[in-house]
Structure 1
Amino acid sequence: MMKINAKPVNFKLGEYISNGYEFLKSNFGNLFGAFLLTMLMSIIPFCGLLAIGNFYKYCRDLRAGKQVSAGDIFNFDDFMPYFILQLILIGGIMLIYIPMIFVLPSMADRDPSAGPPAFFMVYIFVIYIAILIVCLKGFYMPALISLGRVTDVKTAWNMSLIMGKGNLLSIFLYSLVIGILAQLGIIACFIGLIFTLPLLYVSHYFAYEDAMQQITHDEIQEIGTKNEF
């Protein structure tokens, strides 16, 4: 039985990307096939985050040498927590747009050459920063739900807050670097794209797997170790 003890994670930016690259290079066929199925499942309403979470579990099982199959991506065991999380996100987006309902009509009567009002620009900037901070603080939620079996969204959020404490800048830089790598694949057209996009998710898996190893311990294994002595 695994027990989770949420604590600040030692974030290893370069290690996650390098490990992701080596793992993807060694298992490209399996991972690329799983990635395509992940993108296919993401088309299904409310299944995007679930598909990505299942991809992380697929990476874990493949790395452990277990038997993996395409059906692993189309697994709905974690549907409910991801469904609730997406409902919360949709609600948050709707709240963000409420002030814009009142601002946009007033902008329609303005001279287009005058540009948008200062309030609107400040509002958009503040919202952007707020969304960025929320995403960084909730970075570990997919790991907790998919790899840690934490089914309560509020609990996963609170744990992610603790795990990311002191690491928000590192997580931001990591996300920026891996995002740039994915964009380079787009610039390099199709050949680059089929490698860099899976690399993004595989690197995320290593970040999540390392974090889970830092905050969990196996009670059964611990008992066995004690009995040896």
Structure 2
Amino acid sequence: MIQIKAKPVQFKFNEYLSKGFELLKKDFGNFILAYIFCAVMSIIPFCGLLAAGNFYKYCRKIDKGEPAGPGDIFNFDDFMPYFILQLIIVGAVFAIYIPMMFFIPIAAIAGGDSPSPAFMMFLIPYIFLIVIAFTVVALIGFYIPGLISLKKITDIKTLWNMSKVMTKNNLLSIFLFAIVVSFLSQLGVFFCGIGLLITMPYFYITHYFAFEDAMQQIEYDEIKEIGLKNE
């Protein structure tokens, strides 16, 4: 029986980049079409993360040689966990703006037409702290999409706790990975924007390999483990 137990994951930075490129070459045309469908589905409210998750499942099918088509992107099986996750994100963003909703009117009254020095002293560190907080939370929650789409785990608290354990000691590597992959995927901008259809699928494919490798690392076969202990 295959069991899943969260543990710190060995992050294989270069392997994900190279495997992503190889898989993209394997089914180049369909990956471009799948990305277009992913972009279209992202237009639907609260379906952006779901579209990305479906892209990861599509990548797994192509990687494993299973029957798959770009139309698999339009799948709503995982809608609820992604919907709840996005509601939490929206709620967090709204909560962050609550202090500014009170401080801005006060600063406007005190400063008149010119910006208040006190307001700027508050705003700049506040924005800086927000960026840092969002970055850290995003890094800790890095494996959540993979756990939802590739392992069918839907409880948000469980997802967060598992991802927190899996990313332990890997936050810097994941941060650098995100920067490098984002840069490579945005190279299409230099080709009048059309090139994004070629480079953006690479962004998702490399993330798929990061998720897939992590899922394999946290799996263990209970039957095999018992056999090894008996030996």
Q: Distance in 2 between matches of 1:218 and 1:165?
A: 23
Does the residue aligned with 1:206 lie in a helix, a strand or coil?
Answer: helix
Name the structure 2 match of 1:186.
Answer: 189
Does the residue aligned with 2:195 lie in a helix, a strand or coil?
Answer: helix
Name the structure 1 match of 2:102.
Answer: 102
Q: Distance in 2 between matches of 1:148 and 1:202?
A: 17
Does the residue aligned with 2:76 lie in a helix, a strand or coil?
Answer: coil
Give the structure-1-normalised TM-score: 0.91
Name the structure 2 match of 1:72.
Answer: 72
- Which runs of 5 or more residues in structure 1 are unaligned? none
Check whether the contact 2:107–2:116 (CA below 8 A) recurs between aligned residues.
no
Q: How big is each residue's C-alpha offset from its partner over 1:148-195, in whole Å with a ceiling of 9 and x where there is no partner?
A: 111111101100000000000000000011111123221332343122
- Which runs of 5 or more residues in structure 2 are unaligned? none
After TM superposition, the runs of 4+ consecutive aligned structure 1 residues lying more than 6 A away are none
Compute the displacement of 1:17 (Å): 1.1
- Structure 1 residues 38 and 2, CA, compared in 2 at 3 Å: closer, same or farther? farther
Q: Distance in 1 between matches of 2:198 and 2:54?
A: 19
CA RMSD, aligned part only?
2.0
Name the structure 1 match of 2:41.
Answer: 41
Check whether the contact 2:50–2:76 (CA below 8 A) recurs between aligned residues.
yes
Q: Distance in 1 between matches of 2:94 and 2:149?
A: 27
Compute the displacement of 1:21 (Å): 1.0
Give the structure-2-normalised TM-score: 0.90
Name the structure 2 match of 1:121.
Answer: 124
Length, aligned pairs only: 225
- Structure 1 residues 186 and 107, CA, compared in 2 at 3 Å: closer, same or farther? farther
Does the residue aligned with 1:8 lie in a helix, a strand or coil?
Answer: coil
Q: Distance in 2 between matches of 1:181 and 1:212?
A: 25
